[in-house]
Amino acid sequence: MTQPVQIGKTSVYSTPLGLGANAVSGHNLFPNLNDETGKEIVRTALTNGITLLDTAFAYGMGRSEELIGEVLKEFDRSKIVIATKAAHDPANSGSFNNTPEFLTRSVDEALKRLQTDYIDIFYIHFPDKTTPKNEAVSALQKLKEAGKINAIGVSNFSLAQIKEANLDGFVDIVEDEYSLIHREAENDLMPYLKENQISFVPYFPLASGLLTGKYESDVTFPPEDLRSKKPDFQGERFKEIIHHVDQLKLMAADYNTSVAALVLAWYIKNPFIDVVIPGAKRPEQVRNNIKALDVHLTDETYHQIDTLFRLT
């Protein structure tokens, strides 16, 4: 198994592969979710060596946190890294709120839902339009000093907002979109984070399934399917992605693993990435993702994949 990674400059350490828990009772995000299945997904992750669970208030409006809290009681809490997030203000139609008062209240409410007395990583989920970002983070720093949280994160912030949030050096970790087909973060964000010893966690690492090898280039999506509206699933862009994924299938066969595990192993080897958090809607998906920890890419394969996905 791979060595644990340090989150920023904090005392929090995680496996390099975590579980994205947006499908653990994220009923507002996905149809036909089952709470018992959600809890079994969490159990499967924890019993198979994953230590980091990444959730948020917005995943089921607190329900994902509640289910994780129920499962936590079955395990040694000290060996689990809980990351959660807040920004959606239920008192204001779910609009984003980063005020110190809101964030302080959100941490206290998350602690109750998770049935724990500390949160390992707490993120501001989205930036609001008015709160100075360093003031928002300073509020979390007070909670960190009080022992309620152990690491401070921001998510979906622009680089300018991250720099503002980090004026006092309090930001420990950033979560943002990044994958082999969405690599904008490499230009400016990743170098800034590395220079400032801030950890990076990419979300959507498998690009809504595009990087798992499950699609063929001739597949079509009906108009009511959300994928039909996404540029990655349309026209020449979609065909180009699938063409490159087909080449990943050959590499995956050489490593006796799946395309998804190969891609996750690429992120794990990437020096600019600390933890990767693929989601799962079924326990067997968790078990398949965990196989990435046993895939040790050669430098040659790593660079082949890197070059392959320099898409136009």
Residues classed as catalytic: 59
In terms of DSSP bridges, do strands 149-155 and 173-177 run parallel, antiparallel, or are they unpaired?
A: parallel
- The burial of 119, by beta-carbon neighbours within 10 Å (0-12 exposed, 13-18 middle, 19 or more buried), is given as buried
The letter for the amino acid at 172 is: D
**CB–CB of 94/123 below 8 Å?**
no
Residue 191's CB is within 10 A of a number of other CB atoms, namely 13
Sequence letter at residue 9: K
Task: Please provide the DSSP assignment of 224-287 as one string.
Answer: TSGGGGSGGGSHHHHHHHHHHHHHHHHHHHHTTS-HHHHHHHHHHH-TT-S-B--B-SSHHHHH
